[in-house]
Structure 1
Amino acid sequence: MARSRIVAYEVLEAVRDSDAYANLLLPTRIERARLSEADAAFATELTYGTLRMQGFYDAVIALAAGRPTAQVDPPVLDVLRLGVHQLLATRVATHAAVNESVALARRVAPAAAGFVNAVLRTVSRREADDWRSLVADEAGSPDEALAAVHSHPVWVVRALRTALEREGRGEELVALLEADNAAPRVNLVSLPGLAEPPAELGEPDRYSPVGLTAPEPLRLVAEHDGRVRVQDEGSQLAALALSRVAPVRPGERWLDLCAGPGGKTALLAAEALAGGASVVANEVVPARAELVRRAVAAVPADVPVDVADGRDLDPAERGAPDGFDRILLDAPCTGLGALRRRPEARWRKAPADVAELTELQGELADSAFRALAPGGVLAYVTCSPHASETHGTLGRALARWGAEAELLDTADVVQSLSRHPLDLAGDGRTVQLWPHRHGTDAMFIALVRRAGSDRPSGDEPAR
């Protein structure tokens, strides 16, 4: 049996049993199995493809097996999901997909090998489009049909539609769902002032002035010792919106409040170094704080990383007795904007999680705003387009802060630093990026200035 299939199964098992993150576990399992480049690519496709389309595959399996997937033992169900992915979404020959899946079943659940064989042979008798039609016909409503065919929970489909309709772009829903299920290309950031410009390393990003793609991205990362690193273009724009909202004044103090795993911190630290500012990072989870320390190690500047609850922030204890000039709050969220890269996230969250997260986001936003110096700027960022986590959290915070807070024209700031114009919709005061429209994660960005002195206001031209 191909080791790539075993690796993919083991990752699915860990995601199911231990709430593991596939993007963190898979590289380790690939290295441990000493897979060739081709086998590693196949294991990656099997893992991510199966997780992305799990909802659709479960609907297919239920029809082919004649029973709900809840009645199938979890290890057997994972084997079937991997087999269905090979049959409906890859060029693997039918006999190989079925035979290798049966062999895998004999390894993890020997008594179910015949069942796996029968179900996959039934699946193999129809094309993927036929199964999509059958699954849609079985759905109880149009939303349920969209959810099943495009492999998103129904509540997520409705939340994404609401966010798009807020922009007057509700007709883009199917394109967004399809983009969530497409494997993203590895995107890189070249830390400004510390590595070569993007055009000297590969193909510059369309929007981010410090981003790029390259034929061998991981080789570039290895060669640059942290100065070139993997980072989504949307994350780059979110960090740059804060660092370039106005020219940096020497001596400014910046804070990344919820810094883990540190990609945005490293970019902010490079920007701060160039302008004579300093950065402090905070992260509540010790393991993630260690990731931040590793991320900023490539920047030749002192970037303290504190482990603390961001809701209990005392600027004076962080070297900013008068408050911070710029604060990034990349708030904990549902992560619905990064389903391309973290496909298991869609199956782990529930509507009830949104209320808990928005309460936390509001508390963190209040803490960050209190920690701003007069005239300081807060970047409120989420990797979720859910209206409750974006405009909802922000709107309630602005109401609490009253006249002391000014929502800046964030769209103008981001457009001014972008290499090409962005197709933005909505209110114009905030920015919502989209996978289907911009090729980025669905990052939400809002810049808020605290009343006071003439510190960065967004009225000055970005550098």
Structure 2
Amino acid sequence: MSESGTSGSGRGRGHQPGGQGGGQSGSQPGGQGGARGGSRRNAQGRERNRGPQRGFTESAPSQRTRRADPARLVAFEVLRAVEAEDAYANLVLPARIRHHGLDKRDAGFATELSYGALRGQGTYDAILARCVDRPLDQLDPAILDALRIGAHQLLAMRVPAHAALDQTVGLARAVIGAGPSALINAVLRKVSARTLEEWLDLLLSTETDPTRIASIRYAHPEWIVRALRQSLVAHGRPATEIDELLEADNAAPVVNLVALPGVGSLDEALEGGATPGELVEGSALSSGGDLGRLASVRDGSTRVQDVGSQLVARAMAAVDLGVEAVPGSEGAGERWLDLCAGPGGKAALLGALARQRGAHLLANEFAPHRAKLVRQALSAVPRDAWEVRTGDGRDLGTEQPESFDRVLVDVPCTGLGALRRRPESRWRRTPKDLVDLGPLQRQLLNSAIDAVKPGGVVAYVTCSPHPAETTAVVSDALRKREDLELLDAGAALDSVSITGHLEAGNELTAQLWPHVHHTDAMFLALIHKKA
């Protein structure tokens, strides 16, 4: 019987409550338990075997787990939502944890299992392909997700093999079906026969292509391995750092917090075990857990935000525009623009900084539902410091030309710099995305340049290090106009960092890296419109 034919709910397909048989073929009324007609159902009506070629698992029937462990069920539901609904794991996971009422320990387990299985998908699929007697794309997707969950427990978590097998098979039996659970049991037993390093040695024993080797070892598509190696060189770093970068992508990121300047405080977070951030003031590092328990997080005055995003927002706000001002009034009366503000993380930080300096922020977002998120993110900042506009950022340069002193344009991009936080992205993105996004990125940057005043500055930001999304876009803009010049973005980042020496600059643009700065791979170019 094919696995796809048994997917769906049900333990013991066709079994009726009460043991009556319900007229099922081969079932005897009154619980006679006969084997008439070749039935393999026992006295309780359960189908004990799917075929003469398959035997029982090593555990006795009474000892087999027949329910889904809540933490593993959460991970399975996350993987199913990502695969079947194109959902984002970081959005689905918290909701499923709350739905199932997981405590802190189980929530941590579910998080590692979900993200780990998604990050390692390429490596695990290569291993599973050696253990399944058909191409993986012929398996029911739910079965494949269960196998990935089992493989991650067996190969990359400190879960005893017997527990990983028993609980994963129990999960499959509860939510997929008895037939598929037998297949999953057999495949995972093969997986458990080797350690991860032993599997990698086997898989790579005949490989000679460095890109292919890195792709399997570090679970990145080959095109991304090539793209990131090219990105390192383009931003002045040696290509030999590629293994370190890929490894950093696979490390579980520490949760970064920011207290909105003049609005929030980190005291509660620090008292709860967070540690002060090492790169930028007003930041902290948290071990995770339920951050919603913090009142400052609930009211929005303290936010979860990668320190790379904090640095680029602060760098734009701190640029000296060369306008003489009374000491202490720098920025007073300025108009700031966040051209692509959704979902609002950088906008909240900029709004708080603008309020401190007597400036006013316009946060623009194209999608209405994301504009709502921007308003929510800014709600902790006094209302007189900001407003939200719902509209196409490409039109703002025409509608409000030369109206803003500082413009942040954080353009839509492939997100290749945030793969550690978006574990599913590496399997969704394709080289075509680079081609498709290029025109939009250029149009948004041109609009930002049109919207900034002479003497003002545009901060072009991407969460991608790829030169097609970073230096190429900026170079195109500079080549078409004579009133633009690059400011030193690396020096600007240094000026707002605690260390004062990030070594992120390269020919006036700046690139942060996960393996160097422990941030997302944020790119920053500061474009000054000459007065």
Residue in structure 1 matching 2:319, options 231, 245, 254? 245
User: Residues 58-457 of structure 1: matches in 2 within 5 Å?
Assistant: 58-106=125-173, 107-137=175-205, 139=207, 141-166=209-234, 167-196=236-265, 201=270, 202-214=274-286, 218=291, 221-223=294-296, 225-246=299-320, 248-302=330-384, 303-314=386-397, 322-401=402-481, 403-424=482-503, 427-452=506-531
The amino acid across from 2:308 in the alignment is G
d(CA) in 1 for partners of 2:247, 2:172 = 30
TM-score by length of 1: 0.93
User: Contact conserved, 2:69 with 2:171, CA < 8 A, in 1?
Assistant: no
Measured after TM superposition, the shift of residue 203 of structure 1 is 2.6
User: Contact conserved, 1:135 with 1:149, CA < 8 A, in 2?
Assistant: no
d(CA) in 2 for partners of 1:15, 1:97 = 22
What residue number does 1:9 align with?
Answer: 76
C-alpha spacing 1:371/1:50, structure 2 compared with 1 (3 Å)? same
User: Contact conserved, 2:366 with 2:391, CA < 8 A, in 1?
Assistant: yes
User: Contact conserved, 1:221 with 1:230, CA < 8 A, in 2?
Assistant: no
Measured after TM superposition, the shift of residue 21 of structure 1 is 0.6
Measured after TM superposition, the shift of residue 136 of structure 1 is 2.1
Select the structure with the greater relative contact order (CA < 8 A; seq sep ≥ 6): 1
Measured after TM superposition, the shift of residue 321 of structure 1 is 6.4
Q: How many residues align?
A: 448
Cα deviation code 1:49-76 (max 9, x no counterpart): 0001001000010012243322222111
The amino acid across from 1:304 in the alignment is E
d(CA) in 2 for partners of 1:36, 1:131 = 34
What residue number does 2:42 align with?
Answer: none
User: Contact conserved, 2:151 with 2:191, CA < 8 A, in 1?
Assistant: yes
User: Contact conserved, 1:325 with 1:375, CA < 8 A, in 2?
Assistant: yes
TM-score by length of 2: 0.81
What residue number does 2:61 align with?
Answer: none
C-alpha spacing 1:293/1:190, structure 2 compared with 1 (3 Å)? same
C-alpha spacing 1:422/1:147, structure 2 compared with 1 (3 Å)? farther
Cα deviation code 1:13-50 (max 9, x no counterpart): 01001110110111011101111111111111110000
The amino acid across from 1:394 in the alignment is V
Measured after TM superposition, the shift of residue 415 of structure 1 is 0.8
d(CA) in 1 for partners of 2:127, 2:76 = 19
Measured after TM superposition, the shift of residue 123 of structure 1 is 0.7
User: Contact conserved, 1:198 with 1:204, CA < 8 A, in 2?
Assistant: no
Is the partner of 1:389 in helix, strand or coil?
coil
Measured after TM superposition, the shift of residue 440 of structure 1 is 0.3
Q: Which consecutive unaligned segments of at least 5 residues does structure 1 have?
A: 453-463
Higher share of residues assigned helix: 1
User: Contact conserved, 1:188 with 1:231, CA < 8 A, in 2?
Assistant: yes
d(CA) in 1 for partners of 2:265, 2:99 = 33
User: Contact conserved, 1:137 with 1:145, CA < 8 A, in 2?
Assistant: no
Cα deviation code 1:172-201 (max 9, x no counterpart): 110110000000111100111112367994
User: Contact conserved, 1:410 with 1:428, CA < 8 A, in 2?
Assistant: no
d(CA) in 1 for partners of 2:194, 2:128 = 12
Measured after TM superposition, the shift of residue 249 of structure 1 is 2.4
Is the partner of 2:405 in helix, strand or coil?
strand
Is the partner of 1:187 in helix, strand or coil?
strand
Is the partner of 1:361 in helix, strand or coil?
helix
d(CA) in 1 for partners of 2:84, 2:320 = 47
Query: Is residue 51 of structure 1 aligned with residue 118 of structure 2?
Result: yes
The amino acid across from 1:409 in the alignment is D
The amino acid across from 1:284 in the alignment is F
C-alpha spacing 1:411/1:221, structure 2 compared with 1 (3 Å)? farther
Is the partner of 1:236 in helix, strand or coil?
helix
The amino acid across from 1:12 in the alignment is L
Is the partner of 1:159 in helix, strand or coil?
helix
The amino acid across from 2:440 in the alignment is L
d(CA) in 1 for partners of 2:112, 2:281 = 30
Q: RMSD of the alignment, in Å?
A: 1.9
Structure having the higher Rg? 2
Cα deviation code 1:337-380 (max 9, x no counterpart): 11111110111110011011111100100111111111110000
What residue number does 1:456 align with?
Answer: none
